[in-house]
Amino acid sequence: MVEPIRRSTREEREEWIKYANYNLFNLHSNQVFIDLLTDSGTGAMSDKQWSEMMIGDESYAGSSSYYKLKHAIKDITGFDYFLPTHQGRAAENVLFSTLVKEGDIVPGNSHFDTTKAHIEFRKAHALDCTIDEAFDTTLDHPFKGNINLDKLEKVLIDNPKEKIPLIIVTVTCNSSGGQPVSMKNMREVSELAKKHDIPVYYDSARFAENAYFIKIREKGYSDINIRDIVKEMFSYADGMTMSSKKDAIVNMGGFIGLRHKDIFDRASVYNILFEGFITYGGMSGRDMNALAQGLYDGTEFDYLETRIDQVAFLGQLLKEAGIPVQYPFGGHAIFVDAKRFLPNIPKEEYIAQTLAVELYLEGGVRGVEIGSIMADRDPETGLNRYPDLELMRLAIPRRTYTNDHMKYIAASLINVYERRSKITKGLRIVKEAPILRHFTVELERV
Ligand code: F0G
């Protein structure tokens, strides 16, 4: 599928972004030239996926599309039980309704914002146990998504077992910069969790990109094929939530994969309540077919190599120009270190959001803030949270843009970098929602 994109003038963009209250989510897509807001649901489906769309079975119960997806999930992940949901956060909603209660603690590696919000919405706590190396963007470490086992063990020892319903490992870890978790770390987390009798679930949106990094970077895996690596990864988990809009390359969809029948039975009740009957769960038959095929497309080595190399191509152009980015480059995105890019803006004026607005004004490129706006206020104190990393993410949709687009993006950001000393004022919040505020926040220039 090919779509036209439209160039605009700086004057038009000045007007549009003001009207959008300096929130890039409020822009109309035709006001954006190159859209790097997210890699979620924005990829192009393959010929095989489109063929599958034509033969979807739309029966309410027991459709062949459901069984096709069930078979693909078992084949790729090894999980015997699964529940379809309409997207990743819906999978979180169903799973956490089953497992998480008020006062609980859910340790993990830099939980994604919807994951954290679903935990905090239930008055539970998300505890970040990511390795410290992840928070220094200049440091070269092959697996910056790893969990620090000492931090994790301390949480498991210091709290009663009944308070820790699960550990969540996000692969790859989006919030720390699309960074992978090593197989060794997954194995060790699993051993530690078993010792304390706590289940481990993977937030698996980008599991295939994680498997690619294991193949390329981890000793002993260079000759193992991606699907076998994926199988081994999931063998260390009790279950998974999946946003299929990422590594399964569909525009909409999600699921929960489970090893245990008792959890499946309990979660089925919530699935029916929130998503739909357990053989469709918010998805149409044709979408389940495309998703089943996408799980195979997304775990092809050649595809993964091309995709991840394209992201690195952009990263390299920026790095060579001296722009501070999270290094090594992430799997799905380049994360620009906004604090180092715009050192003259105080943190209270939302540095990464300011940078994202500047990039849009410069070239019509839409990135997204992964920083203090996204971090929300502390639910207990009501104070702004300022995470260690204040990033602007440039997420690359799958099978969509060419390397010429990457060159244009780099040129736009380099232009902003050259005039960075003149950018001294940021933004202030005019209106915000109590949770997941970054989607709807309204801002004005300071
Ligand atoms: N987990 C991770 C690691 C994610 O990146 C996302 C979504 C979700 C869960 C939720 O999935 O959107 O299908 O409900 N990430 C998107 C992004 C929105 O832009 O990174 P969803």
Q: What is the pLDDT of residues 265-276, one digit of tens each?
A: 999 999 999 999
Active site (annotated) includes residue 125: no
Q: What is the pLDDT of residues 169-190, one digit of tens each?
A: 999 999 889 999 999 999 999 9
Phi-psi bin for 253: left (phi > 0), alpha (psi -120 to 50), beta? left
pLDDT band at 1; cut points 50, 70, 90:
confident
pLDDT at 7: 95
Q: Answer whether 171 contacts ligand 1 (Cβ < 6 A).
A: no
pTM, full prediction: 0.97
Q: Answer whether 175 contacts ligand 1 (Cβ < 6 A).
A: no
Q: Answer whether 245 contacts ligand 1 (Cβ < 6 A).
A: yes
133 C-alpha to center of ligand 1: Å?
23
Query: Cα–Cα distance between 234 and 211 in angstroms, integer?
Result: 11
201 C-alpha to center of ligand 1: Å?
15
Counting every residue written for the chain, the total comes to 446
Mutate which of 25, 111, 112, 240 for ligand 1? The one with the most ligand atoms within 8 Å of its CB, which is 112
114 C-alpha to center of ligand 1: Å?
7
| pLDDT at 2 exceeding the cut of 90 | no
Q: Answer whether 204 contacts ligand 1 (Cβ < 6 A).
A: no
Active site (annotated) includes residue 264: no
| pLDDT at 93 exceeding the cut of 80 | yes
> Which H/E stretch holds residue 321?
none
> In the 8-state DSSP scheme, what is residue 214?
H
> Which H/E stretch holds residue 302?
helix 301-320
Q: Name the catalytic one among 68, 86, 246, 339.
A: 246
Query: Cα–Cα distance between 221 and 226 in angstroms, integer?
Result: 9
pLDDT at 274: 98
Q: What is the mean pLDDT of residues 219-233?
A: 98
Query: Which atom in ligand 1 lies closest to the alpha carbon of residue 39?
Result: 19
Q: What is the pLDDT of residues 358-391, one digit of tens each?
A: 999 999 999 999 999 999 999 899 999 999 899 9
Query: Cα–Cα distance between 345 and 341 in angstroms, integer?
Result: 10
